[in-house]
Structure 1
Amino acid sequence: MQKAYLVVGKLGRQLIDAEEVNHSDFSKIFQCPECNATLHWRSSFIRDGHSVRASFIHPKGSIDDCSLRVDFGINSDSNNTSSEIYSKGQKRGKLEISFLNLLHYYQSRNIPSYEVEITKITSIEIQDKLPAIQIFLKEESLRRQININSKIKMLHSDPFLLIQAAAKVLELQQACIYIENKIFEFEKWLNNHPQSMSYVVLKEQENTKNISIKELIENSSVEDLIKYHCRRLIGIIRYIQTSSDEMRRDFLAEIIWGDPLLPIPMKNLWDNMEIKILENWLGVQIKDNSQEIKEKRLPHAVKISKFDANMLKQLCTDFGFMSDSFAEINTDSKSPNIRFIKFILSKTWQSIRFCDWSTLPDFYI
């Protein structure tokens, strides 16, 4: 683990990073933020030609004693796969829940105008309530949108089959390589557009007394920030590829059925009673722009509906067929299977590239 409390005499404790500890401090007392166990500090070292970061280590005991307990080598910069990491005792479920919750939070911020009318409210009495109301609407709207879009014949004749085929696409090593190449291109782009790093430095802002993004970037090593973010993205795509089938299906359901280009009319998303409660709470009438939403939704819904079930079944059962198809991914081929593979890779890339994954544990990298 990377962070622990340093016990500072009678003054209390302060949270520090393992890489901030000096060799001369090794005898000081460090405690786990969760279980309060006394930790051992391990300095960085080189193993098998790879750098292993400094870290805090729990005393011997059961992995169930503390959810933050990990084994030696978890923070290595080597290309350990997720399955190798799990074999060392890390709890798979904890990371999967954290990952999906973070993705859901990020996706919900991109949900389109269910609360457009609310955001136009200028009443001083409402302004204090507005942030909480928006978060509630976005979170609940995303959950219901996924539930509606994943119903049979709503967007596809067999939505479960579509998700299965999409999961098979992500299992291919070619898919990981394809997105890693996207990440390398993205890093170059970010270095030329440093202002775009604002989505990653929000926590840094909080820690620097809310100075402006511009000031923060000017006073920081943006290149290091970009490099670190892109390193996390490589870890994320490798993690998705090697995660459990259930996690991969949940991830795909989130990014496909929760796609912000597939909005749901208010009358389908909220029943009349719920709309009435919101209207009474806010003191305004919530309008339902159904026709506008329908026109926006239609082309994207049609695109998904045209993925033939027989083709998806073949992708699920014949890895050779999928691998052969993948060989044409960078061509202008209009074959249905190539379009499907490109669709899944595009959705995956779009969903991870701007998300701030820094709140996740480091061991997936």
Structure 2
Amino acid sequence: MLDILSDRTYRHLFLAQVVALLGTGLATVALGLLAFDLSGDGAALVLGTVFTIKMVAYVGIAPIAGAFADRVPRRALLVTLDLVRAGVALALPFVTEVWQIYVLIFLLQSASAAFTPTFQATIPDVLPEEARYTRALSLSRLAYDLENIVSPTLAALLLAVMSYNSLFLGTVLGFAASALLVVSVVLPSPRPSEPRGVYDRTTRGIRIYLATPRLRGLLALNLAAAAAGAMVLVNTVVLVRGSLGLSESALAWTMFAFGAGSMIAALVLPRVLDVLPDRPVMFGGATLMVATLVGLALTVLGAGLGWSILLTAWLLVGLGYSAVLTPSGRLLRRSAHAGCHCTLINQILWIQGDLGRDCTPNYNISTARTAGRH
């Protein structure tokens, strides 16, 4: 899997992804603590609103940005958006009101929504061979898992000697380092695509997605993963700091448990997927997440919540989460072809933590209805 890092361009892009995600992971921990300081037990509502703003930005801005991303130089656009994100992160330590969090997060996620389709559409141009691209999907999954393991660990260590607001500076450094790494390579030019109107360019991805049977099934699995991920991201700070009354460092270690489970699955899955089809692996992951969360709820109602119970539950949810999301890129690749800008597919893959792929100008809705039945 690591042999694809011999490609200098991909290696720099992968490292840019890693450092940006490490910084983002520090911000995730700090943002939860900031929300708890401002709202107490209402932090879950604040974080829920924050992630709603994130999704609104992706759904509203990413398709438009993706539709026009091939009209500007990729490297210049990526570097500019990285610097915008670094500037917004620099303002987060000075927040004193909840509404200020909402405004800054909208600006940050809007820049990310424009960054993502461009960045992800570059990867398959750098690694056009299917086997190498599949390895890139697993490495991408591992990069997102680093956010859930290394970032909370680093946050726990830093919180012992500094306030959580200082963690936002790590986010600034992550985005700045990402910009430097992108500058250091020459990126492939966007492939020419068939001229289309704005409406067609921005909605074609969702129309193909919904017209492809296998992708409609994938959407249901994505909803299961999104629900489990939301439970972890939104409620962990309330469970750890509020219900259990534990320290700020305990929050970071609890997030570490989720990331550890996800990384274990990501390391094992490439070999598992060489033997088993994608479908049973993904259904197994979704079943594990659902069973774990139901079991956690019953345990809390019966014996009460303990930190060891929560750590175990988050480890199992992480295993199931990665088992659903890692093979998703393979399904999307089979349902999309090279040539045009399939914005929604790139967007959804980024939300999952995978890589996007463009679709051909000749890929039409009627073809999609029969192409994805297997």
The TM-score bracket by the shorter chain reads under 0.3
Structure holding more strand per residue: 1
Higher relative contact order (CA 8 A, sep 6+): 2
Give the TM-score normalised by structure 1.
Answer: 0.26
Structure 2-normalised TM-score? Answer: 0.26
Instruction: Kindly indicate which of the two structures has a greater share of residues assigned to helix.
Output: 2
Tell me which structure has the larger Cα radius of gyration. Answer: 1
